[in-house]
Amino acid sequence: MNNTANAAEAVPHFILHIVFASTSGHTEYVVDALTNSLKSIAPGWEIEATIAEKTQPQDLLSGDVLLLASSTWNTGGIEGQLNPHMWVLLHDKAKSVDLTGKPCACIGLGDHRYFYTARAADHLQHYVKAHHGRLIVPALKIIDEPYGQEEAVGVWGKQLVDASKPVDWS
């Protein structure tokens, strides 16, 4: 077989870079559920996941798509804040990162008992837009315990895959 035929049959190399903040384990559980779902939906994808506290600003530029995930915290006054580790990353360490044109997606977790349910998703989307990134799918909002919500995560994962495909992919 010649190189042209091999290139036509090759699956495009694609990297999803996930940056998440998880202290109770709920956000990490959702990231793991998404990763497991994507292994069957998009087997050619490489998935890199990094916790926010170990992420450097330039890491937000790696990969073909950036996915930010955080739970909603209700500390420090007004409720509906980002996980403190994600806040430090986005508003301190990476406050001047330019995401111009970068395809991005967001996941926010929250508790229905609070007025600003899953507001972390809104904060993450605001960061992407303020830094000129391009949101390619509506945010996934996981309300209350993530356990048992794997199907919803998988459905959203399929939307992410579909939105990530360049026009020239077959």
- Within-domain flag for 111: yes
pTM, 2 dp: 0.89
pLDDT of residue 8 exceeding 50, the answer is: no
Per-residue pLDDT tens digits for 17-39: 999 999 899 999 999 999 999 99
Kindly state the percentage of the chain with pLDDT values over 70.
86
The pLDDT assigned to 108 comes to 96
- Within-domain flag for 5: no
Residue 122, φ and ψ in degrees, nearest 5: -65, -45
pLDDT of residue 43 exceeding 80, the answer is: yes
SS3 state of residue 48: strand
Residue appearing with tokens 């699956």: 11
Rounded Cα–Cα distance for residues 103 and 112 (Å): 29
The pLDDT assigned to 118 comes to 87
- Within-domain flag for 170: no
Q: How far is CA 124 from CA 7, 68, 120, in A?
A: 37, 7, 6
Give the pair of three-digit tokens for residue 67.
Answer: 């996915």
Give the pair of three-digit tokens for residue 69.
Answer: 């995930």
Per-residue pLDDT tens digits for 45-93: 999 999 999 999 999 999 999 999 999 886 666 667 889 999 999 999 9
Residue 38, φ and ψ in degrees, nearest 5: -65, -25
- Within-domain flag for 147: yes
Helices of type H across the chain: 3-9, 26-41, 84-88, 119-130, 150-164
53 and 92 Cβ atoms separated by less than 8 Å: no
- Within-domain flag for 38: yes
The pLDDT assigned to 51 comes to 97
132: left (phi over 0), alpha (psi -120 to 50) or beta: left
- Within-domain flag for 169: no
Which CATH number is 48's domain given? 3.40.50.360
Instruction: Name the DSSP letter for residue 91.
Output: I
Per-residue pLDDT tens digits for 117-139: 789 999 999 999 999 999 999 99
- Within-domain flag for 140: yes
Domain range for 65 is 13-164
pLDDT of residue 40 exceeding 90, the answer is: yes
Q: How many CB atoms lie within 10 A of CB 59?
A: 19
Bridging pattern class, strands 65-73 and 14-21: parallel
67 and 38 Cβ atoms separated by less than 8 Å: no
Per the structure, how many domains does the chain have?
A: 1
